[in-house]
Amino acid sequence: MSHDLYREQLLDHYHNPANYGVLEPADVDIEMDNPTCGDRIHLTARLDSEGHIAAVMFEGQGCVVSMAAASMLTEALVGKAPEEVNRMGLEDVEEMMGGVKLSMGRVKCAMLSLNATKQGLRDAGKLA
């Protein structure tokens, strides 16, 4: 699987992440970490007048999988309703990452940013 994992597309997102930084002001503002591996993410998002995601930014530290997933997610989430985000799962993340098949040990790295988004939306009262 790793050949897949370290192909150009993901490495490129790792080295040149999209939407890196902090949105101010933001409707969603959350920090989350993966204590077992030290991945850490700070994710901020703004919603539009219909409550859909208008913009997402992140900053953090971690492995290629967690950082590339976060970078790609900031692009993929725009326009989605909170409930849509909430329905997203591992398969969506794998597909978003170009169809990689993640090994068991890397799933939590890949899911960090999505889990953070969901938790952030919940904390902000945007999700039941």
Binding stretches for another protein (CB under 8 A): 2-3, 5-6, 11-12, 15-18, 35-40, 61-65, 105-106, 109
Rounding to the nearest 10 degrees, give the CA dihedral for residues 55, 60, 66, 72.
20
Shortest CB 29 distance to another protein, Å = 22
List for the chain the helix, strand, coil content (%; round to 5): 45, 20, 35
Task: Give least dist CB 122 to another protein, A.
Answer: 26
Residue 65 or 121: the one with the smaller Cβ distance to another protein is: 65
Looking at the Cβ atoms of 102 and 121, the one nearer to another protein is 102
CA 47/CA 17 separation, integer angstroms: 21
Which residue in 49, 45, 30 sits closest to 120, CA to CA?
30
Q: Which is closer to another protein, CB of 86 or CB of 115?
A: 115
